[in-house]
Amino acid sequence: MKSKAFTLIELLVVIAIIAILAAILFPVFAQAKSAAKRTAELSNVKNLTTAMFIYSGDTDDTVPPVTQGFISEPVTQFTWKDAIYPYVKNGGRTGTNNQTAGSGGVFEAPTYSGNWGKSDWWGPVTGDLTTRYPRAYALNYAAGSNEAGYYGWNGTSNNEIWPDLGNWPWGSPTQNNGGGGNMTSLNAPAGTMMIGATRTPQITVSPEDLAYGCNNPGNSCDSVSGGTTVYRGAGNKQIIIGFFDGHAKSINAYQALEQDVFDYNTAQNIVAAGTGWPAKAQVEAYMHGYTEWQ
C-alpha cells in the first residue's frame, strides 16, 4: 500500500500554524525570562540589604561610610560594598590588578548588561569607581534629608544619613563630610530606601537621577542612550529597592516618588522654589521623556 505524502498546500498550512504558535509563545517566553531576572535581582537586593542590616546590628545601629579614602584616588577607596562584603562573601571581585571583570555575585544585576561597563570617570573605569565591583547597585544618597530638613550639601557637610570619610579634594581622609550614620535617626525605616540602582560608577544614587539621561556622556553611564537614565530601572517602570528595616521589594518608579521612599520630599530646600534641586513634580515631568519610564 502506497503511503500518502504531504501536498504542498498541507505543508504550507503546517508551517503557517507553527509560525503562528511561535509568534504567540515567543513573547510569553521573553516575558517569563524578564520576570525571572527581576526575581533574581530582588533576591540580590534583599541579600545586600540584609548584609547591611546585620552590619548595622554589629555597630550599634550605625551604617558604614559611603567611602573612606582620597576622592582623588577612587580605586583605593574603601566603600560600603567592602564594608558589607564579609557578610556576603559572594562575588564582586575582579582579576589581577582589577583589570579583568570577574563574577559580580549578588553585587551584579541580572536585569542589566552593563554591570562591568566602562566610562571615563577619573580615567577609564570598569565597573564601579573602585573597579572591584559591578556598578549595578548604589546607596540612596538622599536618605535622612527629611529628618535633617535639608537635602544635599549645606556648605559644611552632606545631610544624608551616610558618613563619608574622605577628603574634598585633598588632605586627610579622616574628615566626615556626611551624616552620623545612625539608623535610629530615620522616622520611617520601613519606608526609606537604603539601596537603589545605577548605571554609573558612582556608589550613591539620587532621586533626580530618575530624570538625568544617559544621552549626556558626562553622566558616565555604561553607554550613551537617550532612552535610559542614570537611575536604572528593572523593566516595566519598576525599580527594585532595599529598605532600612531590612526588606526589599519591586515598586513602580512614579509610586516610589509619590511615597517619598528617597526621603527628601519635605526637605526645606526641596519645598522652596528656585533652590536648584528638582522637586518631585519636576522629576516626574522629566521622567516621561525617557523610554525607561514609559
Q: What is the pTM of this model?
A: 0.85
| d(C-alpha 215, C-alpha 201), whole Å | 16
Greatest mean pLDDT among 20-34, 122-136, 274-288: 274-288
**What is the average per-residue pLDDT within 210-227?**
91
**DSSP E strands, the chain:** 67-70, 78-79, 118-120, 124-126, 137-140, 165-167, 193-197, 204-205, 238-243, 248-252
**What is the average per-residue pLDDT within 36-64?**
93
What does the domain layout of the chain look like in residue ranges?
A: 9-293
pLDDT band of 102, cuts 50, 70, 90:
low
What is the per-residue pLDDT for 96?
A: 46
Percentages (nearest 5) of helix, strand, coil residues in the chain: 35, 15, 50
pLDDT band of 94, cuts 50, 70, 90:
low
Q: Own/partner pairs for 113-117, CB < 8 Å, 24+ apart?
A: 114/199, 114/221, 114/222, 114/223, 117/199, 117/221, 117/222, 117/223
**What is the average per-residue pLDDT within 138-159?**
88
CA nearest 231: which of 249, 212, 250, 252?
A: 212
What is the per-residue pLDDT for 152?
A: 86
**What is the average per-residue pLDDT within 132-145?**
94
Instruction: Give me the percent of the chain exceeding a pLDDT of 70.
Output: 87
What is the per-residue pLDDT for 3?
A: 57
Q: Are strands 137-140 and 193-197 parallel, antiparallel or unpaired?
A: antiparallel
**What is the average per-residue pLDDT within 137-160?**
88
What is the per-residue pLDDT for 77?
A: 83
* Look-up of cell digits 556626611: 178
CA nearest 257: which of 294, 282, 236?
A: 282
